[in-house]
Structure formats: structure tokens, C-alpha cells
Structure 1
């Protein structure tokens, strides 16, 4: 009975040591995981910023294109091409 108890205590101690080893390894990995998480957050923020900048640039380009079209329509309408300018305006600028 005493031998079984000692064997059980030894197994328990071996399991306890193994769990402590795993805990220590996880503790050493935690800072690395934190660093990876921070790097991924930084990348995500940069991608969001790039997306925002591209959207703003696209909106500016659309606005500039519409301004140029409206200027062209104004010039052609002054030359007497009013209906043609209206069709161009509806087809290219309004959508």
C-alpha cells in the first residue's frame, strides 16, 4: 500500500513538474505573442489609413473630372451646342 502511495505521489509530482514547465514556456511565449498582436494592429491601422487616403484621392479625382466636364459643357453651350452639352452632362457627369 505504501509503495502504491509513493508511486502515485511520484506520478503526481511528475505531472505537476510537467505542468509547471508548460506554464513557464507559455509565460516566455506571451511577450512574443503580444509583440505579434501589436504588429498586426499596426498593420491593420496602416491598411485602414491607406484605404482612407485612396478613397479621398478617388473622390478628389471624380470631383476634378466633373469640374472639367462642367467647364467643357459651359464652353460648348456658349458656342451654341446646348442640347449636345446636356446629353454629355447627363451621360458623363451626373452618374
Structure 2
């Protein structure tokens, strides 16, 4: 009886590991496909493809109307002052 239980557990473990391997493979293939599409689109538009180019473009992009700019940091690690707060009394 103990042998059958251990055998069934081992079979279940192998099946679950196999499905996990399949899911990881699907995730990797879909990620590679998405990166490939982004690369092709960037090349067709004449832009460089890479992390540095992406962040440089994001920094240059104009802000949408009504969007607040990023708060400026103070000296070495200090957080900016709080400008607007809401206080409530809790009884």
C-alpha cells in the first residue's frame, strides 16, 4: 500500500513538473516573440532598439496636460516636503 502511494505521488510530481516546464517554455517563447515584434517596429520606424534608447525617449516625451512633474529630490536622499495632506480625527 505504501509503495502504491509513493508511486502515485511520484507520477503526480512528474506530471506537474512537466506542465510547469511547458508553461515556462510558452512564457519564454511569447516573451521572445514580443521582443522581436518591438525590435522590428523600432527598426521600421528608424529608432534604435534598447533600454537606453527607450528611457531616453521617455525622458524627452512631453508631459500630458494636467500631469504633475516628478517631485525634485532634496540633498542626498531627503524626501521632498509634503505639499498637500488630508487630516481626519478618529474617535
1:80 alignment partner, SS class:
coil
- CA–CA distance in 2 between the matches of 1:76 and 1:40? 54
Task: Specify which structure has the higher proportion of helix.
Answer: 1
User: Scaled by the length of structure 1, what TM-score is found?
Assistant: 0.50
Encode CA deviations 1:52-91: one digit per residue, 9 max, x unaligned: 100110001000000000001111111102xx32x56xxx
User: Scaled by the length of structure 2, what TM-score is found?
Assistant: 0.52
Which residue number in structure 1 is paired with residue 13 of structure 2? 47
- CA–CA distance in 2 between the matches of 1:36 and 1:68? 48
Pair member with larger Rg = 1
- CA–CA distance in 1 between the matches of 2:6 and 2:17? 16
Which residue number in structure 2 is paired with residue 80 of structure 1? 46
Runs of at least 5 residues in structure 2 that lack an aligned partner in the other structure: 52-91
Displacement of 1:36 after TM fit?
Answer: 1.0
Tell me how many residue pairs correspond in the alignment: 51
- CA–CA distance in 2 between the matches of 1:77 and 1:46? 47
**Runs of 4+ in structure 1 over 2 Å off:** none
Runs of at least 5 residues in structure 1 that lack an aligned partner in the other structure: 1-34, 89-95
- CA–CA distance in 1 between the matches of 2:29 and 2:6? 34
